[in-house]
């Protein structure tokens, strides 16, 4: 009996160490890489924000759909509230920002979030830990501001920001994704 517990504990230690050694805690591009990319594509980022502010009834733009404020999804559940011409305009800007697969934005808390990199790891059950790094446009300075997001991983819960320029920030967000 004791031998089985030792064998089980041994397998657990090997599995834990293996997953720890194989997992890259920083799967995202570095701050400097994202800042350089932002500076080289500033007009496209500014255009996305301008369009998102103009489209006041839009909650999020995804690679395949648009979430409207009333939670209707264009074009899946409604044909109203958005147009194909506007959709093509967003897709054109996203295509120019394709190096980091930037193909969505969300509006929340008076901020516009543009995801540049995401990673998830499953937890026991159906939940997952999700870590996102990207850009934020915010008129009011978000908090907390940090000097670097590079060392953040699964142990950095919450959302942290690093200033790029006036109204522009990088962000790192850690959370649990629950199935619906």
Domain ranges of the chain: 29-177
The whole-angstrom separation of Cα 44 and Cα 38 is 9
Q: Which one, of 93, 137, 146, lies nearest residue 114 by Cα?
A: 137
Predicted pLDDT of residue 179: 67
pLDDT along the chain (180 residues), means of 10: 45 37 61 98 98 96 94 94 95 94 92 92 80 96 96 82 98 82
| Angle made by CA atoms 137, 131, 116, in degrees to the nearest 5 | 45
């Amino acid at each position: 009996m004791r031998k089985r517990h030792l064998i089980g504990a041994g397998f657990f230690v090997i599995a834990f160490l293996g997953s720890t050694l194989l997992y890259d805690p920083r799967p995202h591009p570095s701050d400097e890489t994202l800042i350089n990319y932002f500076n080289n594509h500033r007009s496209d980022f500014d255009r996305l924000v301008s369009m998102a502010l103009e489209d006041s009834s839009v909650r999020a733009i995804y690679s395949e759909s648009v979430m409207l404020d009333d939670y209707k999804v264009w074009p899946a559940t409604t044909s109203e509230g958005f147009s194909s011409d506007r959709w093509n305009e967003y897709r054109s800007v996203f295509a120019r920002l394709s190096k980091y697969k930037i193909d969505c934005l969300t509006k929340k808390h008076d901020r516009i979030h543009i995801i540049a990199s995401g990673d998830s790891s499953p937890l026991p059950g159906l939940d997952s830990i999700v870590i996102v790094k990207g850009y934020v446009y915010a008129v009011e300075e978000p908090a907390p501001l940090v000097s670097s997001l590079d060392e953040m991983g699964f142990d950095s819960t919450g959302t942290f920001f690093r200033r790029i320029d006036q109204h522009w920030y990088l962000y790192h967000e850690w959370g649990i994704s629950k199935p619906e």
